[in-house]
Amino acid sequence: MSEGADVVIVGGGLMGCSTAVHCAAAGLSVIVLERFHVARHASGANAGGVRRLMRHPAEIPLSLAAMEKWHRIAELVDDDCGFAVSGQVLVAETEAEMETIRKRHAEVSALGYDYEELIDAEELYRLVPALVPGCVGGLVCRDDGFADPFRTSTAFRRKAEALGVDIREGSTVTDFYRKDGYWRVETEAGFFDAHKVVNCAGSWAHRFAERLGEPVPLEPFAPMMMVTARMPAFVDPVVLSVGRSLSFKQSAVGTVLIGGGHPGRPDMQTGASAIDFAELGISARTVLDLFPVMRSATLVRAWAGIEGKMPDGIPVIGPSTTEEGLFHAFGFCGHGFQISPIVGRIMSELVMSAEVSLPISPFAIDRF
C-alpha cells in the first residue's frame, strides 16, 4: 500500500520544515520524511546567527527578504524563535584587513545596498569594548542578530504540524523516481506517492541529485562549536573576524557560543561527527587573542554539525533540470539558518508553479 500527498519533502531540517510550512499554508498536503529526527543535523547544531553581513552578492536579495521575516518571525511560526537584534560586527585587526573591508563595502554599495556600515576604531570599541586593544575598524549590520536554533526548528516543526503536515521521523528515503506520471518515494518502511518532491536532504541531498543525472560537487564538512559556562555580560553584538575563522556571541543567559567553521570529522554513513581537538585549539586561541576576558572562561561542551559546502560558496536552490516535479534546496555552506524562512517560501512557489518572487538563477543546479 502506498500513502500519498501533493508534496513529499525529503529531509526534516529547517529547509524541509520551512518548505512544509509554506506549502501547507498554501493548501497543499505535505509529508516530510526524515531519517533521524527533525533538526538532527545542521539545523539543530548551528550557531543561530541571523546575518546579512558579508553575504555573497547572489544571496543578498534572499538574505534581506529573510531578515524582514525574522523581525516578524512569530507571524510565520507563532514563536519568536529567541530572535534578538544584537548587531553583527566584522573586526579588522590590521590596516590590510581594513582595506579588505573597504573593498567589500564599495562592492556592495555599487550594487545599490546600504545595509552594511563601515566603522572606525572608536565606534568598534564603543560597540565591542571587550575587544583586545589595537584593532583598526570594522563593518557592521546593526539590525542583524541571532536566534535559538532549537526553538526555531521546534517552532517550524510545530507550525507545520498545526497546518496538517505529516512529519515521519525515523524514515530513511532510499530512492525516488517517476512512475506513471507521479513520484514514488521509497523508504525502508514503505513508499509514498506524490505529485512533487522537494529534495532538502542537506549534506546527503547531492546523492539523490547525482542518481537523477544532476551531479553536484557538494563536499560535506563538520564545522565545530564550543559553549562556555555563564559569564558576566561583556559583549552585545555577534563578532566575526576578517583574518580568522570566528563567530562569537554571548547569549542572554551569559553563556558564550564560539564557532567560525573550524572543521571536525563527519561520518556520512552514520551521520555522527567527531571533534578535531587540534582544530578546536585554533578556535580557542583565536578567542583568547581577541577577548582577554575569555581567559577565565570555562568550556562546557563542544560539538560538530554536518553541513554541505559548494565550491562557489552558495547553495543549490531551484527546479531539477532533468526531472519534472522535482526541486532542490541544499548545500547552504554554513549560512543557511538565516535564509531558511525565505527558502521555504521560494520552494513553495516553485512547487505551485508560481512566479518565484526572488532571483534564484545563481543557485541553479546545472551551474557546475
Ligand X SMILES: Cc1cc2nc3c(=O)[nH]c(=O)nc-3n(C[C@H](O)[C@H](O)[C@H](O)COP(=O)(O)OP(=O)(O)OC[C@H]3O[C@@H](n4cnc5c(N)ncnc54)[C@H](O)[C@@H]3O)c2cc1C
Sites of contact with ligand X (CB under 6 A): 10-16, 33-36, 40-43, 45-49, 172-173, 200-204, 223, 225, 247, 259, 305, 307, 330, 332, 334-338
Q: Cα–Cα–Cα angle for 283, 336, 148, nearest 5°?
A: 70
Return the C-alpha torsion angle 267, 269, 271, 272, nearest 10: -40
CB of 148 to ligand X, least distance (A): 11
CB of 332 to ligand X, least distance (A): 3
Of 241 and 338, nearer to ligand X (C-beta) is 338
CB of 42 to ligand X, least distance (A): 4
Q: Which three cell numbers stand for residue 273?
A: 561527527
Give the bridge partners for 37, in sequence order: none
**Residue 226, CA distances (Å) to 148, 223, 297 in order:** 15, 11, 11
Residues in the chain, overall count: 368
Write out the H or E segment, with its range, that includes residue 156: helix 149-162
Of 46 and 286, nearer to ligand X (C-beta) is 46
Of 25 and 335, nearer to ligand X (C-beta) is 335
CB of 80 to ligand X, least distance (A): 17
Q: Are 54 and 104 in contact (CB under 8 A)?
A: yes
Write out the H or E segment, with its range, that includes residue 88: strand 88-92
CB of 156 to ligand X, least distance (A): 10
Of 192 and 337, nearer to ligand X (C-beta) is 337
Of 5 and 10, nearer to ligand X (C-beta) is 10
CB of 173 to ligand X, least distance (A): 4
Q: Are 124 and 135 in contact (CB under 8 A)?
A: yes
Sign of CA dihedral 292, 52, 264, 11: positive
Of 137 and 344, nearer to ligand X (C-beta) is 344
